[in-house]
Amino acid sequence: MKHAKLTLIVVLVFAAWPLSGQNIAGTIVGTIRDISGGAVVGAAVTVTNEATNIAFKTQTNETGDYVAPNLAPGSYTVTAEFAGFKEGSLRGVRLLATRTVRV
């Protein structure tokens, strides 16, 4: 009986082990362009979780693209800033677990 209990406990512990390693994070990606359609290189992009106010900051690359990886599911505000341009924001960007959203 004692051996059966120990075996059951060991089985339950190892059965739950993979659950702790599951990743539910998502990614928000986008491209920042000027009015003529040209890429805005080096624009500061901030992706802020609307519920927790936790922000992820990045910059656009040489093609104007940005990536905000490993974000918890939720609703986000994406803000872009660049010297000489008006700041732009998009609120209510909904990110689901394991998904990539293009803004």
Give the span between the Cα atoms of 95 and 91, in whole angstroms: 12
pLDDT for 44-66, tens place per residue? 999 999 999 999 999 999 999 99
Whether residue 16 lies inside any domain: the answer is no
Bridge partners, 102 (sequence order) = 29
How does pLDDT run across 21-47, given as a tens digit for each residue? 578 999 999 999 999 999 999 999 999
If one counts the domains in the chain, the total is 1
Task: Check which CATH number belongs to the domain holding 90 and give it.
Answer: 2.60.40.1120
Q: Whole domain around residue 35: which residue ranges?
A: 24-102
Residue 54 lies in a domain: yes
- Cβ-in-10-Å burial (0-12, 13-18, 19+) of 76 comes to buried
Q: Tell me the CB-side half-sphere exposure of residue 20, using CA atoms within 13 A.
A: 5
Helices (H), 21-82: none
pTM of the shown model: 0.78
